[in-house]
Structure 1
Amino acid sequence: MSKPVIITCAPTGGIHTPTMSPHLPVTPSEIATAAIEAAEAGASIIHLHARDPETGKPDPRPETFMQFLPIIKQSTNAVINISTGGGLGMTIEERLRAATTASPEMASMNMGSLNFGIFPMAEKYSDWKHDWEKPFLEMTRDFIFPNTFQTIEYALKELGDGHGTRFEFECYDLGHLYNLAYFVDKGLIKPPFFIQMVFGILGGVGADLDNLMHLHTIAQKLFGDAYEWSVLAAGRHQMSFATQSAMLGGNLRVGLEDSLYIGPKQLARSNADQVRKIRSIIENLGHTIATPEQARERLALKGGDLVKF
């Protein structure tokens, strides 16, 4: 029997903008509600970003996170995972502020720099809710999302060693697995660790099943049984790749950060809708979903009683 599938839900992210969907959570209240509903639907890990409640722009301020983190913790048993990706263009210090303030069980960590191209989305809209949205997207035509070896080591020591926080290691390409292996060999990352393979972002590896199989094969060669792995795919590939991961014995991530849709040309009305859909698929395939406590045990997390919110 395969292990229960860990479902991560990323309710809002820092890529999509308010114009793109009326269902994208923006305010602290909306983010809290989305996270709680996703947990109730079956997500055992909630991956969180914050947004300015007035404009919807990605917001790294700890005080914004603290408007919804305690509510989610009090209302669910889910593992709370704070993004260190922040918003495009932020410094690593800005990206880490919320996590070092909250000292969560988990945080995300991008394992390499890449051309993070979301500018094609600007071509799909003509009327914008906010002035910042179109320039935010278009600036990625000439933008590198920096995650250098020095940056990664700084985050591992500052947040990992300093707070006992463990990571969702986001790998957007083959080389990112080898970057991760470097830090494992140096003893800065210790098993069990959690690899999130990311597909379909322009500048990273494409959403092609052969790519998924190859990254999984290389991860097995590099890490053996020392890791848990999960898959997310952007846009229309979200559900198919999540399903493939579950069939291969992996875990998965859904949420409006990764795709605004629930089906072809059909906007998801909530994050919970996406969780319920993939849960139904998983269970119909004969698999079970992991509880938050099972996720904590498998990922060796410190426990929700040791966070600072």
Structure 2
Amino acid sequence: MNFEPFITCAVTGAGETADKHPGLPITPKQIAEAAIEAADAGAAIAHIHVRDPETGKGARDPKLYREVVERIRDSGKDVIINLTAGMGGDIVFGQGENPLPLDPSGTDMVGPLERLVHVEELLPEICTIDCGTMNFAAGDYVMTNTPSMLRAMARRVQELGVRPELEVFDTGHLVFVKHLIKQGLLDDPVMIQLCMGIPYGAPDDPLTTMAMVKQLPEGAIFSGFSIGRMQLPYVAMAALAGGNVRVGLEDNLYLGRGQLASNGDLVSRAKQVLEGMGARLLGPAEVREKLKLVKRWG
């Protein structure tokens, strides 16, 4: 049991959820306000994607990231900013017997350094790196992260002095994390997010979770989460396994059956669960010290 966990709130994500929740943050102003709301409720870290304000679809425009980050920083609210670097690795094949050409409506594939343009420009304390390629959903979509791409991203993030949060969706991704460590591309402490229950990665059952925890690199600091209705049960599961916690509208839209949530609602419920288990939540300053983060503002 981790009796001093921290909470990360993933406030919006990039999935096709804009039409499923009228309060989902879409514009930079809404996303920044959601991050501040989450911090007010007890989250130490805000994990941030951006969306096209016109369509609500996931985006990677550095101008959108800049507006979100500046709004958070200008607010004076102390929250650790964690920007995704997962966008730009989307391949959608053509259907059936015609996988090529790729489907242009869903494919967004760029080089590893282009995926880090916003990170290089804004220098958040944390950015995410998805640690493998996988069939992420039904159909012909593949989340694409080759070993050479990931090594290039890890090297550049290390040069920038930004802490990478390594998104691990299955056991093979942990093998790759250990390769990055051996190659000197990750500084201590290594920060890992166990992403459970996502098709078609590791299922969100306790035995699989604990098997992955047992394979973590020595000294790694990890968080864990699941999606949908299992998000809130995994608040307890992650802490019991010795880790930290992630909640938020990126992964789950509901507080209960038929009850749409806000990010603040989900963080407040996670805080209630953790404190009910006897835990004390770490604030941003304590998390910075624990993760040896470099704060460049405020």
- Common fold by TM > 0.5: yes
Structure 2: which amino acid aligns with 1:80? I
The Cα of 1:263 is off from its aligned counterpart by 1.4
Aligned partner of 1:133 in structure 2 is none
Match of 2:120 among 100, 103, 106: 100
Work out the percentage of aligned pairs sharing the same amino acid. Answer: 36
**C-alpha distance in 1 between matches for 2:169 and 2:235:** 16
**C-alpha distance in 2 between matches for 1:159 and 1:104:** 10
1:8-64: CA deviation from partner (whole Å, max 9, x where unpaired): 001001113311111110011111111100001110011000111111111111111
**C-alpha distance in 1 between matches for 2:141 and 2:181:** 29
The Cα of 1:290 is off from its aligned counterpart by 0.7
Aligned partner of 2:207 in structure 1 is 210
Verify: 1:295 aligned to 2:296, yes or no.
Answer: no
**C-alpha distance in 1 between matches for 2:204 and 2:116:** 29
Aligned partner of 1:174 in structure 2 is 171
Match of 1:158 among 131, 156, 159: 156
Alpha-carbon contact 1:193-1:228 (below 8 Å) kept: yes
Verify: 1:237 aligned to 2:257, yes or no.
Answer: no
Aligned partner of 1:71 in structure 2 is 71
Structure 2: which amino acid aligns with 1:77? D
Distance 1:304 1:40, change over 3 A: farther
Aligned partner of 1:132 in structure 2 is none
Matched residue SS, 1:21:
coil
Alpha-carbon contact 1:85-1:95 (below 8 Å) kept: yes
Aligned partner of 2:44 in structure 1 is 44
- RMSD between superposed Cα atoms in Å: 1.5
Matched residue SS, 2:50:
coil
Verify: 1:9 aligned to 2:29, yes or no.
Answer: no
Equivalent pairs, count: 278
User: Normalized against structure 1, the TM-score is what?
Assistant: 0.86
Alignment of 1:13-24 (within 5 A): 13-24=13-24
Moved runs in structure 1, 4+ residues, more than 4 A? none
**C-alpha distance in 1 between matches for 2:273 and 2:33:** 24
**C-alpha distance in 1 between matches for 2:228 and 2:191:** 22
Unaligned stretches of 5+ in structure 1? Answer: 120-140
Aligned partner of 1:123 in structure 2 is none
Alignment of 1:110-189 (within 5 A): 110-117=130-137, 119=138, 141-161=139-159, 163-189=160-186
Instruction: Please say which of residues 187-196 and 94-103 is displaced more in the overlay.
Output: 94-103
Structure 2: which amino acid aligns with 1:243? A
Alpha-carbon contact 1:79-1:304 (below 8 Å) kept: no
Greater share of residues in helix: 1
Aligned partner of 1:131 in structure 2 is none
**C-alpha distance in 2 between matches for 1:28 and 1:2:** 34
